[in-house]
């Protein structure tokens, strides 16, 4: 087993993805695997919801906050709701972690059943989940420590604006400009931690039932021995999904625009056709068309994004599998030993 370079792992990762998803091709299985790939890899869009409102009347502004007075009952409700949301997030993250191990099992053995890996890796997946929680808490503490020196400046700026003052551009730049390189470094640290955990340490948890210390020691030894190879992998691991997403955007932007125009035209036609006494029927049909459009868009994203997410995981498995013997023996099983020829010593 010879180490595969980051660039040389691209082509076999694509070939393994084709074999895994399309040979043989069954639509139901394909959609299931693509959905699991999207959930575990987290390749998707993000929304920016702006719920802020602008008030010009001071009396209205003050009155709008009356329903949100900090009474003991409301504080208790807020605490309970926060704990409930936190527990739900933890539970979902644990399920996704177990699903990630199950998908890993499918990919390395080229099988399409999620259930075996779901049960096999329950214990290591739970320990890996708590490792991620600890790393996440440490990252948040790091953010808090870095934010402390800037907090006073931003609070002063906020109080100045709240008091009716005008923000000074120089003061804003003095606060924001030093944050740019810090944010950049933090993003790199977050990406590096995610890659090390999911791409390198997870296989040790799955195949050896390793502890955090054992997995990290094994990974760090390989990184120190091949710094250039791992650096090249990290760069391509970031760039390849970006390039693929840009390519998909270019290919799909025209069909997406046509789809949106058609849905908008149907919605307008329904609104006009049922604007009279049958308004409720029109609203029902518009909602139905909206739901169908959302379902079709989601289906299209699963069909298109699933192979990309699968290829990303195959790429990680191939690169590290050529350096980790326990994984490499599964991916590249050694040829069977030929039986001895009778009569030979």
Over its C-alpha atoms, the chain yields an Rg (Å, rounded) of 27
Q: What gap in Å lies between CA 209 and CA 231, rounded to an integer?
A: 27
The pLDDT of residue 67 is above 50? no
Average pLDDT, the chain: 86
Say how far apart CA 199 and CA 91 lie, in whole Å.
22
DSSP assignment, residue 165?
P
d(CA 206, CA 343): 44
User: Residue 262: is its pLDDT beyond 90?
Assistant: yes
**pTM, 2 dp:** 0.81
229 pLDDT band, cuts 50/70/90, is: very high
Please say whether the beta carbons of 3 and 226 come within 8 A: yes
DSSP percent split of the chain into helix, strand, coil, nearest 5: 80, 0, 20
**Averaged over 96-111, what is the pLDDT?**
96
Calpha distance 226→236 (Å, rounded): 16
Q: Report residue 53: phi and psi, to 5°.
A: -125, 155
The mean pLDDT of 319-327, rounded to a whole number, is 95
Q: 72-104 b/e with 16+ CB inside 10 Å = b? A: eeeeeeeeeeeeeeeeeeeeeebeebbbbbbbb
Share of residues in the chain with pLDDT > 70 (%) = 83
- Residue, of 7 and 55, whose pLDDT is higher: 7
Q: What is the mean pLDDT of residues 18-37?
A: 94
Residue 171's pLDDT band, with cuts at 50, 70 and 90, is low
In this structure, are residues 300 and 314 in contact, taking their beta carbons and an 8 Å threshold?
no
Q: Which residue has the tokens 């691209």?
A: 10
pLDDT-based confidence at residue 49 (cuts at 50, 70, 90)? very low
Please report, for the chain, the start and end positions of each structural domain, with discontinuous segments joined by +. Answer: 10-43+70-331
| pLDDT on residue 296 | 95
Residue owning tokens 């390189």: 181
Residue 166 is predicted with a pLDDT of 65
pLDDT on residue 160: 64
How far apart are the C-alpha atoms of 282 and 304, rounded to whole Å?
33
- Give the residue with greater pLDDT, 168 vs 331: 331
CA-based nearest residue to 232, from 314, 319, 310, 318: 319
pLDDT at 53: 42
């Amino acid at each position: 087993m010879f180490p595969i370079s980051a660039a040389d792992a691209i082509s076999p990762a694509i070939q393994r993805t084709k074999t895994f998803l399309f040979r043989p091709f069954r639509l139901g299985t394909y959609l299931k695997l693509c959905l699991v790939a999207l959930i575990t890899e987290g390749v998707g869009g993000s929304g920016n919801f702006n719920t802020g409102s602008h008030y010009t009347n001071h009396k209205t502004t003050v009155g709008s906050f009356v329903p949100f007075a900090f009474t003991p009952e409301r504080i208790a409700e807020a605490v309970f709701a926060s704990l409930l949301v936190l527990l739900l997030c933890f539970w979902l993250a644990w399920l996704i972690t177990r699903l990630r191990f199950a998908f890993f099992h499918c990919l390395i053995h080229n099988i399409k059943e999620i259930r075996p890996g779901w049960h096999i890796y329950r214990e290591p997946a739970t320990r890996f989940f708590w490792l991620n929680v600890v790393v996440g808490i440490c990252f948040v503490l790091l953010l808090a420590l870095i934010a402390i020196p800037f907090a006073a400046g931003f609070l002063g700026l906020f109080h100045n604006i709240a008091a009716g003052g005008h923000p000074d551009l120089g003061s804003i730049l003095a606060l924001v400009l030093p944050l740019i390189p810090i944010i950049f470094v933090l993003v790199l640290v977050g990406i590096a931690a995610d890659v090390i955990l999911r791409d390198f340490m997870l296989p040790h948890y799955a195949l050896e039932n390793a502890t955090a210390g054992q997995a990290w020691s094994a990974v760090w030894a390989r990184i120190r021995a091949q710094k250039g190879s791992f650096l090249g992998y990290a760069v391509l691991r970031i760039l390849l999904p970006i390039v693929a997403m840009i390519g998909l955007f270019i290919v799909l932007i025209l069909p997406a625009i046509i789809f949106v125009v058609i849905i908008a035209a149907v919605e307008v036609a329904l609104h006009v056709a049922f604007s009279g006494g049958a308004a409720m029927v029109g609203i029902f049909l518009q909602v139905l068309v909206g739901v169908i459009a959302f379902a079709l868009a989601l289906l299209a994203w699963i069909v298109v994004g699933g192979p990309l997410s699968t290829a990303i995981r195959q790429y990680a498995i191939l690169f590290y599998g050529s350096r980790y013997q326990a994984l490499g023996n599964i991916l590249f099983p050694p040829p069977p030993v030929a039986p001895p020829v009778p009569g030979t010593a």
